[in-house]
Amino acid sequence: MCVGVPMQVIAIDGDQAMTEVDGVKREANLMLLDQEVQVGDYVIIHAGFAISRLDEAEAKETLALMREVFTPEDMV
């Protein structure tokens, strides 16, 4: 199953971002976004790409719901 996961941007280098959720870090490409992303923003990561930016409250709510349904291994 493919699932987009909300992750927080912790570093940006050009079109690449380092993102993190629950201590797990993943690199993600930002080229698909039409919005500017800054360190601290939350993005939905799918297949190595940031596909959407979302606000912190929405990200935290989504992560809470995902934690109820999925195991940690399912989310990354």
Task: Indicate the domain borders of the chain.
Answer: 5-75
- Give the closest residue to 23 by CA, choosing from 37, 38, 8: 8
pLDDT of residue 69: 87
Q: Give the predicted TM-score (pTM) of the model.
A: 0.85
CATH of domain 5-75: 2.30.30.140
User: Per-residue pLDDT tens for 22-51?
Assistant: 899 999 999 999 999 999 999 999 999 999
pLDDT of residue 60: 93
pLDDT of residue 4: 87
Q: What is the 3-state secondary structure (H, E, C) of the chain?
A: CCCCEEEEEEEEECCEEEEEECCEEEEEECCCCCCCCCCCCEEEEECCEEEEEECHHHHHHHHHHHHHHCCHHHHC
pLDDT of residue 76: 55
